[in-house]
Amino acid sequence: MQARLDAQREALLAAAVALLSEQGYAGCSVVGVAARAGVSTGSVYRYFPGKAELVVEVFRGLVGREVQAVEQAADGPGDLIDRVVAIVETFANRALKAPRLAFALLAEPVDAPVEAERLVFRQVFQQAFARHVTEAVKAGVLPPQEAAITAAALVGAVAEVLVGPLSAGVASADTVPNLVRFTLRALGADDAAHS
Amino acid sequence: MQARLDAQREALLAAAVALLSEQGYAGCSVVGVAARAGVSTGSVYRYFPGKAELVVEVFRGLVGREVQAVEQAADGPGDLIDRVVAIVETFANRALKAPRLAFALLAEPVDAPVEAERLVFRQVFQQAFARHVTEAVKAGVLPPQEAAITAAALVGAVAEVLVGPLSAGVASADTVPNLVRFTLRALGADDAAHS
DNA sequence: GTCTATATGCAGATAGAC
DNA sequence: GTCTATCTGCATATAGAC
């Protein structure tokens, strides 16, 4: 029945996630995913039009979770600036907990369809930042600034600072605090208030 | 004689640069480069062990020029903070003048050997930032901070802010000024002094 | 519906004629 | 030394048996 079909589909997606988490995109070949899921390569094409669609769906699912986590954190307690900080902290801490996967999602070389998806999600994160920065500027707790630029710059900054530790596999304990201090300065927030 | 051999080698490199500038890595196949240089594909292998070596050499040459330009700008007149700003401005302005090429060097998906080279050069830029930030902190014109983190974050910020305009092909006239303002805030420099 | 085996397409690399 | 033509390897995708 339908449930069984869906189960196979899910099994393939789960296998792809597992391989991605362990070996990055290299392990994510059709043959690899099929083997991991315990089916033949041919069967993969019963559930997905092709490799691109499978990988993109995996990517979307994983990054979607991150987006949710970040947005939930941004809705937590604290003032407007705390919310921006919460985005940075949540994003960074989650990434450092699953380094191989985070590297794959953030920076690993991928082919065009997945890269396109990556750009989309970077924009989603930028918008999350921009929304809160705009509010904070309006409220007068941050100096006037082009929110879109600040947001893009913060996304780039967080990603770049994390890529080193992520590819090395380990991060210094104060990477995240340092990143937060950078963020506060970049926003133009008064350091003393949030140190 | 030897000069003629070297000339062919240079012609191949030049062809690769041209293709990279116009079409990115897609145009940079062995067949494409050979055609552009007016030689057969087989001949490419008289001058280079393989595609990877050719492309990496092209990449190194191009990015090396950017590094030089940035370091020269950082040695110009002005105080310590001006030097960091000069790095950002020089880098951004040069990138926006050759968008397709800059995108290829900065962000376009590439295969592993070139990506490795890209990481190397991001670190070179980071070190350029870090050197000047460290000095400025010592001199007391910037607040205490982990220079390596600030440097990595700035590299990421600049790259991310540029990627949008670069892939779109056009940038707003005040992208660079906004980027400079972000940089000054992120450094912890007093805005009033450099606006 | 799932398997095995094979086809297809591409890009990098090589061999042998000239 | 350079060309044309070919080969190889890989990963995606398909066909046909069960």
Nucleotide with the nearest C1' to B26 CA: C11
Q: Measured on CA atoms in the order A130, A67, B120, B8, is the torsion positive or negative?
A: negative
Q: CA nearest A74: which of A123, A144, A133?
A: A133
Q: What pLDDT band is residue A1 in, cutting at 50, 70 and 90?
A: low
- The Cα B179–Cα B117 span in angstroms is 26
Residue B157 in contact with partner chain A when CB distance is under 8 A: yes
Measured CA to CA, the distance from residue A189 to residue A146 in angstroms comes to 15
Average of per-residue pLDDT values in chain A: 94
| DSSP annotation string for A59-77 | HHHHHHHHHHHHHHHHTSS
A115 close contact with B: CB closer than 8 A: yes
Q: Rounded to whole angstroms, how far apart are CA atoms A55 and A5?
A: 19
User: A48-57, A87-96, A167-176: lowest mean pLDDT where?
Assistant: A167-176
**What was the pLDDT predicted at B168?**
82
Kindly report, residue by residue over B114-140, the tens digit of the pLDDT. 999 999 999 999 999 999 999 999 999
Per residue in A17-49, pLDDT tens?
A: 999 999 999 999 999 999 999 999 999 999 999
Question: Residues for chain B: how many in total?
Answer: 195
For strand C, is any atom closer than 7 Å to the CB of B45?
Answer: yes
d(CA A68, CA B134): 37
Contact between B159 and A158 using a beta-carbon 8 Å cutoff: no
The domain B55-194 is placed in CATH, from the list 1.10.357.10, 3.30.43.10, 3.40.50.720, 3.40.50.620, at: 1.10.357.10
Q: Which nucleotides of D are covered by protein (CB under 7 A)?
A: 1-6, 11-16
| Helix (H) or strand (E) segment spanning residue B97 | helix B80-97
pLDDT in tens, B65-90: 999 999 999 999 999 999 999 999 99
Q: Is A81 on the interface with B (CB under 8 A)?
A: no
Lookup result for tokens 């990477």: A175
Task: Tell me the percentage of chain B whose pLDDT exceeds 90.
Answer: 87
pLDDT of B192 = 45
Residue numbers 27-46 of A with CB closer than 7 A to any atom of strand C = 38-43, 46
The CATH architecture annotation of domain A53-194 reads Orthogonal Bundle (1.10)
Residues 127-146 of B with CB under 8 A from A: 143, 145-146
CB contact under 8 A, B153 and A158: yes
Predicted confidence band of residue B55 (pLDDT cuts 50, 70, 90): very high
Q: Give the distance, in angstroms, between residue B116 CA and nucleotide C16 C1'.
A: 37
**CATH (one of 3.40.30.10, 3.20.20.70, 3.90.1150.10, 1.10.10.60) for B1-48:** 1.10.10.60
- A3-12, A81-90, A129-138: the lowest-pLDDT one: A3-12
Map out the domains of chain B as residue ranges. 1-48, 55-194
DSSP line for A134-160:
HHHHHHTSS----HHHHHHHHHHHHHH
Contact B161 A156 (CB under 8 A): yes
